[in-house]
Amino acid sequence: MNDNAADRRAAIWVDADACPKVIKEVLYRAAQRSGVTVTLVANQPLSVPRIPSLKVLQVSSGFDVADNEIVRRAVAGDLVITADIPLAAEVIAKGAHALNPRGERYSADTIRGLLNLRDFMDTMRASGNVGDGPPPLSQANRNAFAGHLDTWLARRKS
């Protein structure tokens, strides 16, 4: 597989181990209707629909193995779907786009602040001051995700 940006159209990389099923289904539909290459990267086997532009890349288990593979393969212009802020920061530094499954678009302007907030929240959790995880994915989250995805797909065509 050639990952040189000059030799291929922009693609979508999915940090699939933690990606909600409903968001994966949105991505499957996008692959089906647009033909964009969507690669789900996970350290466990995934069952996906048979769509020519939909791929699964299974990596070995281990801390950040999937993230590191996405960083290695993503190129400028690609879209990375992840809730992992450090991963988002790394692909943004390479010129790729990053989108949270909750519909939040990461950018070069916002990523530093998000990294700082993440570190602060890690410290708070470690001290026992924060216990709850994120709320369930809402319809507004799904709509925001789909809207950002559609915008990226439209730009990719031009």
Q: Which CATH number fits the domain that encloses residue 153?
A: 3.40.50
pLDDT in tens, 10-44: 999 999 988 999 999 999 999 999 999 999 999 99
Q: What is the structure's pLDDT at 107?
A: 87
pTM (2 d.p.): 0.83
The total number of structural domains that make up the chain: 1
- Domain of 121, in residue numbers: 5-129+137-157
Specify burial of residue 97 (Cβ count, 10 A radius: 0-12, 13-18, 19+): buried
* pLDDT at 3 > cutoff 80: no
* pLDDT at 4 > cutoff 70: no
The answer to whether residues 8 and 2 touch, using CB atoms and an 8 Å cutoff, is yes
Kindly state the average pLDDT of the residues 148-152: 96
Q: What is the structure's pLDDT at 116?
A: 66
pLDDT in tens, 103-135: 999 987 787 766 666 665 666 666 776 666 677
Please state, for a pLDDT cut of 90, what percent of the chain lies above it: 66
In terms of Cα–Cα distance, which of 72, 74, 87 is closest to 19?
87
